[in-house]
Amino acid sequence: MRVRHLTGLALALTLLPGLAACGGGSGPESEEPAGEATSADIVPTQEEAAPASNVPSDTFVQVTIGEPETLDPAWTYETSGAAVESNLYDTPLYFNREKADDYVPQLAESWTLSDDQKTITLTMRKGVTFHAGGTLEPSDVAYSLHRAMLQDRVDGPMTLFLNPLLGTSTIEGYAFAKADISTDVPEGAEAPTLEQVPADVIQQVCEDVKATVVADNDAGTVTITLKQPTPWFPQLLSQPWSAVLDKEWMIEQKDWDDDCATWPQWHNPEPQESVLFDKANGTGPYKLGEWKKGQEITLEANADYWRTEPIWEGGPSGPAKLTHIVIQKVDEWGTRFAKLTAGEADTIVVPRANIDQMASLVHTEYDGGDEGAPATEVNPGGSVNLFKGYPTVAADAAMFHFAINPESEFIGSGQLDGNGIPVDFFTDIDVRKGFAHCFNWETFIQDALKGEGVQTRGPIIQGLQGYSDTSPIYEYDPVKCEASLAKAWGGKLPETGFTMTLAYNQGNDTRKTAAEILADELAAINEKYKIEVQELEWATFLEARRAQKFPISIAGWLADYYDASNWVEPFMSSAGAYARAQSFPADMQAKFDEKIAAGLAETDPAKRDAIYAELQQMAIDEAIDIFLAQSTGRFYVSRQTTGWYNNPLAPGLWYYAMSKP
């Protein structure tokens, strides 16, 4: 029991001004800033045991921000939900520990890829049972993928599967094309709907989907047929979107009945409409305990977990060592910090801006993504270990919305009268360029990321095709900012000014800082340029963005697979998780889509590199977003915890690999 009143007073006082909000994450749609703290793997030194923790050794307490929108793995395309699902469900394959491009069999005991790289055959494991008692069969795998692709909710993850399997971005688009229904409707006219698609086409669409993933229960195999070679497809089979559901159980719960005539009833549901909204029945190492909305999610170890051999050399096997998992939602940084200091939490989300406060708690610093990294003991009395400096595949951006929903509560009067902005405010490129020149990256990287980041040069991050250290970027330049904005909207802006609200997800101080920097710089140019900054709870933020209510949204992207296509798709494609809601003008969107399709079809590495470099340039030329920064990883965890490692594509902690002595 350490009583450190003076330090405590100093720390408490420094916490006061920042009580209102903080943040952290990444993932498909990432609630935490890129590279923010996540988890770790530490062994207490022999000579000194770790300080006493108030968390029992069979329990792991993670204190985080935000909570899932749903626990349906086919619906989820954000990290809070995907992180939970990755512990509840198994997938056919899994990442070989920290390697993002190497796999180990999971529910598939083996897998093969044909010579033409278009057919993947999974041989499924026998004797695996679901949490509710059902037995895993190959048809469960096929049903799960069929259901997911036909469900295909707007801005969801299924475009990742539909593209390589059917050559389409959305199942609706595929149905309309088959039914010869034009989606190019005049402005003001209603978009086509599935109800207009004839029944025989509805049936055919489903049969086409079923033909891409075929189960043979007798042979124990699942055969997946790709339209074109897709090197990253095994990565998709290792992520929660490939979670295997129990077909019979799902039908009992009144989900899709596997009938090709009925799938539109389950297509594009709201989160609460799915039977898996707050229920789960997977084969994973954990069962869902309870989801107390707005408070916490608990997971309980699956005592009957099927795995008897280590997943990789030295890896876990048998039931999970940590039998109770508590994932608490605590938005206040001060409360999260107190919990970690008091030993009531094993890990917390630490906004980069608060890392100085964490220094006194750190026992050992690991300069890398697991316990094998070079380590330095910094404070013998510290209660947590820090892993830092490991690479991430995540980045944040502030995205301009070109056609804002007129019902939006974030655009004030909806007019260019100084009290709001019109819904098409950002269609003027001078506005976008002006905003980009008004963002001070140096301040952002120093203040919000404590210097541990670099400015991103477009949607494509370092290390991928299309990325170049010398490609043009926007630089902070108040003079150019002022000049651009003076030109915008026929030169009216300096006189009228504007008012809008910029939202970020609650608890995420990094994004809050980005929003405040932009607001302050614009106000410094002209006091009539007003941006109000507002926090929104994660699920509310995502819903408002899908509804196209934001003028600008700040969010992060964690790669689904390691390829440039997974960066241009969300940020630039008409079906992209971010770009769709931004509503780029038709001609701009057509140019993006054409180039994205060319990149997907191209197999020559040099040509691919050129295509993605061109896309990177187009994103900058059109100033579709303010591309913020890519940072390295930083993760704090209690000294008692061992087994953490960083896999850059993982949406969150995989508790199965972790334990406490």
- Where in 339-378 is the site for other proteins (CB under 8 A)? 339, 341-344
Q: State phi, psi for 555 to the nearest 5 degrees.
A: -150, 170
By the rule CB under 8 A, 270 interacts with other proteins: yes
Judged by CB under 8 A, the residue of 45, 59, 96, 117 near other proteins is: 59
Judged by CB under 8 A, the residue of 109, 332, 377, 477 near other proteins is: 332
- Over the window 444 to 483, marking each residue x when it contacts other proteins by CB under 8 A and - when it does not, the resulting string is ----------------------------------------
Sign for the pseudo-dihedral over CA of 82, 85, 90, 92? negative
Judged by CB under 8 A, the residue of 112, 272, 413, 446 near other proteins is: 272
Sign for the pseudo-dihedral over CA of 131, 135, 138, 142? negative
- Where in 5-24 is the site for other proteins (CB under 8 A)? 5, 7-9, 11-12, 15-16, 19
Residue closer to other proteins (CB basis): 333 or 612: 333
Residues 478, 437 contacting (CB under 8 angstroms): yes
Judged by CB under 8 A, the residue of 204, 335, 471, 632 near other proteins is: 335
Residue closer to other proteins (CB basis): 506 or 582: 506
- Over the window 171 to 190, marking each residue x when it contacts other proteins by CB under 8 A and - when it does not, the resulting string is -------------------x
Q: Which stretch binds other proteins (CB under 8 A): 215-223, 321-329, 553-561, 565-573?
A: 321-329
Judged by CB under 8 A, the residue of 40, 42, 61, 145 near other proteins is: 61
Q: CA of 15: how far to CAs of 11, 91, 532, 535, 582, in Å? A: 6, 42, 23, 19, 36
Q: State phi, psi for 80 to the nearest 5 degrees.
A: -60, -45
Q: Which stretch binds other proteins (CB under 8 A): 207-215, 224-232, 249-257, 322-330?
A: 322-330
Q: Binding-site residue total for other proteins (CB under 8 A)?
A: 61
Residues 532, 502 contacting (CB under 8 angstroms): yes
Residues 616, 571 contacting (CB under 8 angstroms): no
Question: How far apart are CB 640 and other proteins at their closest, in Å?
Answer: 15
- How far is it, in rounded angstroms, from Cα 490 to Cα 608? 40
Question: How far apart are CB 548 and other proteins at their closest, in Å?
Answer: 13
Residue closer to other proteins (CB basis): 58 or 621: 58
Angle at 542 between CA 465 and CA 565, to 5 degrees: 15
Question: How far apart are CB 342 and other proteins at their closest, in Å?
Answer: 5
Q: Which stretch binds other proteins (CB under 8 A): 37-45, 220-228, 330-338, 487-495?
A: 330-338
Residue closer to other proteins (CB basis): 20 or 104: 20
Question: How far apart are CB 521 and other proteins at their closest, in Å?
Answer: 25
List all residues 6 or more positions away from 250 whose beta carbon is below 8 Å from its beta carbon: 143, 147, 256, 275
Judged by CB under 8 A, the residue of 328, 440, 646, 659 near other proteins is: 328
- Where in 393-452 is the site for other proteins (CB under 8 A)? 407, 409
Q: Which stretch binds other proteins (CB under 8 A): 414-422, 462-470, 536-544, 608-616?
A: 536-544
DSSP-assigned beta bridge partners for residue 329: 64
- Where in 107-166 is the site for other proteins (CB under 8 A)? 154
Residue closer to other proteins (CB basis): 9 or 590: 9
Q: What strands, in cross-sheet order, belong to the sheet with 375-377?
A: 375-377, 362-366, 384-390, 633-638
In 3D space, the residue among 485, 566, 565 whose CA is nearest the CA of residue 530 turns out to be: 485
Sign for the pseudo-dihedral over CA of 239, 240, 241, 247? positive
Sign for the pseudo-dihedral over CA of 119, 125, 126, 128? negative
Residues 90, 283 contacting (CB under 8 angstroms): yes
Residue closer to other proteins (CB basis): 45 or 360: 360
Structure tokens at 79: 């990290």
- How far is it, in rounded angstroms, from Cα 612 to Cα 542? 28
Judged by CB under 8 A, the residue of 110, 193, 217, 376 near other proteins is: 193
Number of H helices, E strands in the chain: 20, 23
Instruction: Determine how many CB atoms are found less than 10 A away from the CB of residue 540.
Output: 14
- Where in 228-247 is the site for other proteins (CB under 8 A)? none
Angle at 633 between CA 630 and CA 635, to 5 degrees: 150
DSSP-assigned beta bridge partners for residue 290: 298
From its phi and psi, is residue 133 left (phi > 0), alpha (psi between -120 and 50) or beta? left
Total residue count of the chain as it appears in this document: 661
Residues 100, 648 contacting (CB under 8 angstroms): yes
Residue closer to other proteins (CB basis): 19 or 219: 19
634 alpha-carbon distance from chain centroid = 17
By the rule CB under 8 A, 537 interacts with other proteins: yes
Q: State phi, psi for 533 to the nearest 5 degrees.
A: -105, 130
By the rule CB under 8 A, 303 interacts with other proteins: no
Residue closer to other proteins (CB basis): 544 or 600: 544
- Where in 501-520 is the site for other proteins (CB under 8 A)? 506
- How far is it, in rounded angstroms, from Cα 658 to Cα 42? 10
Judged by DSSP in three states, 76 sits in coil
Residue closer to other proteins (CB basis): 328 or 616: 328
Residue closer to other proteins (CB basis): 289 or 414: 289
Placement of tokens 């040069």 in the chain? 457
Residue closer to other proteins (CB basis): 516 or 609: 516
Residue closer to other proteins (CB basis): 540 or 632: 540
By the rule CB under 8 A, 195 interacts with other proteins: yes
Residue closer to other proteins (CB basis): 122 or 349: 349
Structure tokens at 93: 């394959």
Question: How far apart are CB 47 and other proteins at their closest, in Å?
Answer: 23
List all residues 6 or more positions away from 479 whose beta carbon is below 8 Å from its beta carbon: none
By the rule CB under 8 A, 535 interacts with other proteins: yes
Q: Which stretch binds other proteins (CB under 8 A): 51-59, 390-398, 438-446, 627-635?
A: 51-59
By the rule CB under 8 A, 279 interacts with other proteins: no
List all residues 6 or more positions away from 114 whose beta carbon is below 8 Å from its beta carbon: 120, 121
By the rule CB under 8 A, 2 interacts with other proteins: yes
Binding site for other proteins (CB under 8 A): 1-5, 7-9, 11-12, 15-16, 19, 54-56, 59, 61, 154, 190, 193, 195, 268-273, 278, 289-290, 292-295, 298, 324, 326, 328, 330-332, 334-335, 337-339, 341-344, 407, 409, 506, 534-537, 539-540, 543
